[in-house]
Structure 1
């Protein structure tokens, strides 16, 4: 039996919620710096201002996200990469235990894709024809609906792992 290893990296586009959160973060930072400047005193004020700026910089960097999909045999690992520097595992999916994987616009499977599962969005936020949904049960997250954006070659490799549960777009 042959070993399978495939990687795919996508950059998530900023949603309107992300943009509003960034604006709110900038406004909150300006207000907090003003308060620290006025009421912080000569010693504590500058320390608070530096702390606020570092905290805002850290939070601002969390808005630059890339997702890496790694298929190793029948396990799909999904990692998030923040600001091209910090990596964190989002989840691991056993492709043999998924309920269904189909295109988000596939009308044949809409009843299965619209179950009330917890949504995990690890896609590029475009919701186009390259956006797929995996319905699965994981030990860490429970019943979840994973929205992701693989390319056609990656979908073909996923199809080889679970041909009776992966439905490619027509």
Structure 2
């Protein structure tokens, strides 16, 4: 009988909205309201009533564009491990999804905490594209992955839990600065069921 031992791990991390993000949302809404007001007020001001149909269509277009821009500020990052493949997708507005990074864990140059003094992230920053894929709430939980996508160096900042770190260690123990408390493939030992015999 063939035994399948696939590793499948998934997690979604929501990006924390900063003060800058909230300010951008307010600005987008204000600009959209002003634009809709102007394009509808000008035809009325000059008595060009037949342009009202066009201005109404433009108003819907501006409103929809504003919705896309405001909802696009809300982002989530989905991490997934399927055997030795790790990928990060960005989800904008809880609808639009695009792949941000994917690669084989076996080929990662380094996996370490962002504040690891023994393996500083600065050693891998030169010439690398940086992708920040964490919530931004707690820097202590952030790790970095130094890898390559084709010929381009990349530096991916993530916020993994123990399941991901265990998977990283399983497929790339040499370059993973994490040691699981138990072996990834270890199975719990069943307790022996000992029945006492009644004495006659």
TM interval, short-chain normalised: 0.7 to 0.9
The structure 1 residue matched to 2:168, chosen from 145, 149, 158, is 158
Query: Is contact 2:9–2:163 with CA below 8 Å preserved after alignment?
Result: no
TM-score relative to the length of structure 2 = 0.76
Q: Is 2:129 aligned against 1:118?
A: yes
Query: What corresponds to 1:3 in structure 2?
Result: 6
How many Å apart are 1:27 and its aligned residue?
A: 2.5
Q: Deviations over 1:72-103 (max 9, x none)?
A: 11110111222323322222121111111110
TM-score relative to the length of structure 1 = 0.88
Query: Is contact 1:113–1:133 with CA below 8 Å preserved after alignment?
Result: no
Query: What corresponds to 2:142 in structure 1?
Result: 131
Query: What corresponds to 2:197 in structure 1?
Result: none
CA distance in 1, matches of 2:110, 2:118: 12
- What SS is found at the alignment partner of 2:173? coil
The structure 1 residue matched to 2:15, chosen from 12, 15, 39, is 12
How many Å apart are 1:2 and its aligned residue?
A: 3.1
Query: Is contact 1:71–1:77 with CA below 8 Å preserved after alignment?
Result: yes
Task: Decide which structure has the larger Cα Rg and report it.
Answer: 2
**CA-atom RMSD in angstroms:** 2.2
**Where does structure 2 lack aligned partners over 5 or more consecutive residues?**
44-50, 180-200
**Where does structure 1 lack aligned partners over 5 or more consecutive residues?**
none
How many Å apart are 1:114 and its aligned residue?
A: 3.9
The number of aligned residues is: 169
Q: Is 2:37 aligned against 1:34?
A: yes
CA distance 1:142–1:39, change in 2 (3 Å): farther
- Of the two structures, which has the highest relative contact order with CA contacts closer than 8 Å and spacing of 6 or more? 1
- What SS is found at the alignment partner of 2:25? helix
CA distance in 1, matches of 2:52, 2:141: 56
